[in-house]
Amino acid sequence: MKKIKILVADDIGETRSVIKKILSLEDNLFEIVGEADNGEEVLRLIPKVKPDVVLMDINMPVLNGLEATERITDEYPSVIVIIMSVQAENEYLKKAMFHGAKEYIIKPFNYDSLTQTIKVTYDKYKDRQIRALGSREEIREGKVIAFFSSKGGVGKSVLALNSGLVYSKEKNKKVLLLDMDLQFGDISMLVNEYNEKTILDAIDEGQLDSYESVMPCLYKYNENLDILFAPGKPEAAEYITKNSVEKLMNLFKKKYDYILIDTGVNFSDITLYVLDYAEKIVFVSNMDIVSLKNTKLGLRVMQSLGYDKNKVKLVINRYKTDYGISRKDVEEVFKDGIFAVIPEEEKTVLVSINKGEPFCSGTKYNKLKIGKAIEKLCKDLVD
């Protein structure tokens, strides 16, 4: 197995010795490739010794650990920085994480806390590290698809999520699902996963200059699908500006093949920006009369925004023939036609939501009518 290459940065020689001693007890796992007593020295050494991980003290002369971390994140995004600090430096710790440190460890530490922190952090980020290295020159041209509706609860999130899963099965395609229902986003619940970091952390200043620094905020759902969750609290939405979303999108666009955006029911600045930015808008409606009426109004807004029918695609979700309104009736009202129809499959959908296991997550999803319909929708959207 490949050893984890470590660069130790601390201005106190004794601390470096203790760390070296601890790590040498597992010399089949760790290799100390360099030592530095200030931040400047760390930056000088990185290209020479190519560490996987830098253990970084905060208070160091010449260039302190915070500034050094920020520069490493910029210049060597594949290097994982773990901050070492004493309890009293709490404020600095937060800053260090904002500057791109992946983890921190409180001094004094013992054998277990040091080795475990390095191992766990390295395992968590090594794939991303490889990806960052491998894809440094690789530029993708993401297709951006927004899921929108003018009435709540019609199935935007269910469709966005399951479409993301369908796209993620394509070989070597990178998919991002962005929960831009900033107040009430529930993608996190639908997959029954919790990520400490959300879009709120991703847009924090200092995170937005490179994709690599936003990466720790993403939840890796599978090999090809990353998810950026909405903030956990409705009031957090007001801290997210259009400007920062714009920066985020520009970073993502180059890194993913498909970017799917779930939105909330509103025409806020940010929603409008997302709708503008998207290449395609999946406009979701149900078969009931209220939903259809709102959809009609919503589509009119789209028209007034100058979007043409190639951009806005009407998708009828929860389609069922015995609701008193037929597909033909609907088609008569929407002259540009229905782009796709997704059947009502109450049990499949509800069970998948309650279990937090999206019905398109397995390999047999296209045995289901609803899975097949979503697969077709996905294909038609990018044809």
In degrees and rounded to multiples of 5, residue 333 shows phi and psi of: -80, -35
- 85, 129, 149, 157: which one binds Mg ion (CB under 5 A): 157
317 is a site residue for ligand ATP (CB under 6 A): yes
188 is a site residue for Mg ion (CB under 5 A): no
How far apart are the C-alpha atoms of 16 and 129, rounded to whole Å? 25
207 is a site residue for Mg ion (CB under 5 A): no
163 is a site residue for Mg ion (CB under 5 A): no
What is the largest distance, in Å, between two alpha-carbon atoms of the chain? 80
158 is a site residue for ligand ATP (CB under 6 A): yes
CB 291 within 8 A of CB 314: no
Q: Which contacts (CB < 8 Å, 24+ apart) does range 325-329 have? A: 325/287, 325/288, 325/289, 325/292
CB 356 within 8 A of CB 193: yes
Site stretch for ligand ATP (CB under 6 A), options 30-38, 147-155, 237-245, 291-299: 147-155
375 is a site residue for ligand ATP (CB under 6 A): no
199 is a site residue for ligand ATP (CB under 6 A): no
Kindly tell me which of 79 and 330 has the beta carbon lying closer to ligand ATP. Answer: 330
Kindly tell me which of 135 and 183 has the beta carbon lying closer to ligand ATP. Answer: 183
CB 97 within 8 A of CB 104: yes
316 is a site residue for ligand ATP (CB under 6 A): no
CB 276 within 8 A of CB 133: no
Which residue do the tokens 């020295």 mark? 41
Kindly tell me which of 30 and 319 has the beta carbon lying closer to ligand ATP. Answer: 319
Which residue do the tokens 């498909």 mark? 258
349 is a site residue for ligand ATP (CB under 6 A): yes
370 is a site residue for ligand ATP (CB under 6 A): yes
Tell me the CA distances in angstroms from 301 to 163, 262, 291, one per residue in order.
25, 19, 15
Residue 316 contact partner, candidates ligand ATP, Mg ion, none, CB within 5 to 8 A by sort of partner: none
Residues that bind Mg ion (CB under 5 A): 156-157
Residues that bind ligand ATP (CB under 6 A): 149, 152-158, 181, 265, 317-318, 342, 344-346, 349-350, 353, 370
